Structure 1
Amino acid sequence: MRIFAVSALREPPFLAARHHGTDLAAEESTAWAQSFGLITSGHRLDRLRRADAAGLAGRACPEAPLDRLRLLTDLISWLFVVDDACDEDGLGSAPTRLAPVVAGLMDVLDRHGDAGAAPPAAGALGAALHDLCRRVRAAGHPALLLRFVSRLRDYLLALLWEAANREHRRAPGVAEYVQMRRHTGGVHPSFALTDLALDGLPDAGPQAEPALLAVDTLAADLVCWCNDVFSYAKERVAPDGHNLVTAIARETRQGEAEALLAAADRFNGALAAYLAGEAALLATGDEAIRPVLTARRNWIRATYDWSLVAARYA
């Protein structure tokens, strides 16, 4: 699938870079996951290492302080653990099975990283999530903490949507899939920590501008759709249809080859729209939004480069 992706997807025209502390962050993040009990077997340890969370974070934040790189790496590791538990270990096979876990994690988010301990009912996932929220809170940007928590709530609720689809063997249409994929991908909470890592947070006003929101959404779509094309070979055996290629094939009744090309065309069109939107924002001369655009560029490029080498979808 990598050969097809490289040939069909337009390479993002952004500078590629990798943080010098990536390897150290990988070691420390694995130890962090083990310390919270997120990894309980050799198989899961190998699975997390193959996911290469630090490789993705190091490309998304190539110039961040090391502690901020670690924070993003730990979040991505946590997201990989949750996704694998849902997709491969059966946690997401039905909403009734997933709902108690989501409720415990929502309880953690409602505490907004306060100094107390995580609620015991939240388990290992909740304890690790509480640690992430605590560290975001300690960074001293309350608005970003609220944004981070809100986006993680969206992610958890979207996992329940996936679980309901699996239980009922329901295949979502393309428009529905595209909307929900922005949340199931965990991209927006990752964007929040990338903004924190660059320490270039705009005021709430610029963040709410429609033009910047549109570019932010395009960046999230590009990250998710790039992932879908690269991971399709692994995910096409799943019956639930949670992949852009599968959603296109089922809705349009196209064959696999045509659906792959349609997904690639969608990515390429969104990249062109992103570049146009970014250029328009930069032309305004508002320097407050430049760090945010840099962060989104980094993420788009990082996902493409990480997908080329990560063993997660090999």
Structure 2
Amino acid sequence: MDTQRAAIEFRFPFPRDLSPDIEQAQRHSVAWARQMGLATTDFALGQLEAWNWGRLTGHCLPTGRGDILELATEWITWGFLYDDQFAGPLGNQPERVARITESMIGVLYSTSETPRENAAARGITDILHRLTPKMSATWMARFRDHLKWYLIGVLRMTTFRNRLGEIDTRTAFEIRRLDIGMNAMIDFIEVAEGFEVPESLIGTSQIQDLRQCVVDIVLLQNDVFSLPKDRHQQEVNVVLAMERSENLSTAQALERTAALVDEKVQQFLSVKAGMAALYDTLGLGVTDRARMARYIHCLELMVHGSVYSHAECVRYSTRPEHTRPIAGRGFIQDLHLEAGTELAHEFTRTTQG
């Protein structure tokens, strides 16, 4: 398999693994995308085959098996295809994107199971419908909230696309933390493992810090691997923001990025070392302690696996056909996201009274 080399070498003191069910997940995700209307042309389906989201997901969620890995792969597929809709002309029209975002947030909280107005709405509705019997109402509410912030993150990305010169490193970080959608991906660890993080723990600063470290490390990896593409397509990228706002050379920006990754790894390890004391304070039992050890192990697998997800995906190739917007538009197929925006507006107005 061809691999892409990152501009910096990522080394992590974490384990790594690969789900044995990646081929099944890949086949299922392509068939699912066709069924939902996300990819229906030969070109679009060929791109999905080449990108191989099943393998990417299997690196990040190596304990995922069977239909769980399929669901996670479908979320990844959906997230990339939705985000790509804004890599072309639509991404330079924030007002239109705001209407689409409002519509999609309405879809997240709708109780209707009827077919949706566009493929993106159908796809996310299907994912939510299939997750509902597997997880608690509390978990589903958290997952929906993370999806909502992903959608808002994509919207924020479009508002900054035409003023990249104004973005400093901190702002780029804040934008990327949302639009990368990693919190929703982290949630799938609980689906794969068959348990939910106890309510007494999920909101603690320690668990939130661990999750944030994973988000930050993965987004920095992504921005390094995406650097040629993002430079060509004028996207928000932390490394590019360092170059522009701090007057750094590419080499200097990459050196600083590597230092940031190391800093986040050390923060993760420091928080992990203090978890036993937190469990004592909360009176956590043996079963929950074992589950949390497993959860943190899976976070480590996700961090390390993400390197291979990026390295093995042709989407991050430096070849011109991958660095320029797909088909000159940014997407493999137009999902007509504005279909149903008026219905969503009416839904929002009605529910707000």
CA contact (8 A) 1:94 1:167 kept: no
State the Cα deviation string for residues 246-292 of structure 1 (Å, max 9, x = none).
Answer: 01111110111211221122112211221222232256563342232
Q: Secondary structure at the match of 1:202?
A: coil
User: CA separation in 2, counterparts of 1:169 and 1:61?
Assistant: 33
Deviates more, 1:21-30 or 1:256-265: 256-265
Measure how far apart 1:52 and its partner are. Answer: 2.2
- Partner of residue 169, structure 2: 174
Of 267-276 and 184-193, more deviation after overlay is shown by 267-276
Change (3 A) 1:26 1:2: closer
SS at match of 2:85: helix
Q: TM-score, normalised by structure 1?
A: 0.91
Q: 1:142 to 1:291 in 2, by over 3 A?
A: farther
Higher RCO, 1 or 2 (CA under 8 Å, sep at least 6)?
2
**1:94 positional shift:** 1.7
**Letter of the structure 1 residue corresponding to residue 160 of structure 2:** N
Give the match for residue 281 of structure 1.
275
State yes or no: 1:237 paired with 2:232: yes
Give the letter for the 1:265 counterpart: A
**Does the 8 Å contact 1:59/1:299 carry over to 2?**
yes
Corresponding residue of 1:199? 194
Q: Could you tell me which of 167, 185, 199 is aligned with 1:190?
A: 185
Number of the residue aligned with 1:146: 141
Identity of aligned residues (%): 22
Aligned to 2:38: 38
Alignment of 1:20-39 (within 5 A): 20-39=20-39
Superposition deviation, residue 140 in structure 1: 3.5
2:102 is aligned with 1:116: no
CA distance in 1, matches of 2:133, 2:183: 20
Q: 1:128 matched to which residue of 2?
A: 123
**Higher helix content, 1 or 2:** 1
Aligned position for 2:95: 96
Per-residue deviation, 1:9: 3.4
Output the amino acid matched with 2:108: L
Is contact 1:64-1:197 (8 Å) kept?
yes
1:267 to 245, 261, 264: 261
Equivalent position of 1:251 in the other structure: 245
Give the equivalent residue in structure 2 for 1:56.
56
Distance 1:207 1:104, change over 3 A: same
Q: What amino acid maps onto 1:99 in structure 2?
A: A
Give the 3 Å change call, closer, same or farther, for CA 93–175 of structure 1 in structure 2: same
Q: Does 102-111 or 21-30 show the bigger shift?
A: 102-111
Helix, strand or coil at the partner of 2:130: helix
CA contact under 8 A between 2:4 and 2:316: conserved in structure 1? no
CA RMSD of aligned residues (A): 2.0
Instruction: State the aligned residue count.
Output: 306
Q: Does 1:304 align with 2:307?
A: yes
Amino acid in structure 1 at the alignment position of 2:101: V
Q: Is the 8 A contact 1:235 1:243 kept in 2?
A: yes
Q: State the Cα deviation string for residues 211-269 of structure 1 (Å, max 9, x = none).
A: 111111011101111111111122111234x1111011111101112112211221122
Three-state SS of the structure 2 residue aligned to 1:19 is coil
Instruction: Please give the alpha-carbon distance, in whole angstroms, between the structure 2 residues aligned to 1:236 and 1:140.
Output: 40
Deviation at 1:13, TM superposition (A): 2.2
Q: 2:216 aligns with which of 221, 234, 239?
A: 221
Which protein has the larger Cα radius of gyration, Structure 1 or Structure 2?
2
CA–CA distance in structure 2, aligned partners of residues 264 and 18 of structure 1? 25
Q: Residues 199, 64 of structure 1: CA spacing in aligned structure 2 closer, same or farther, 3 A cutoff? A: same
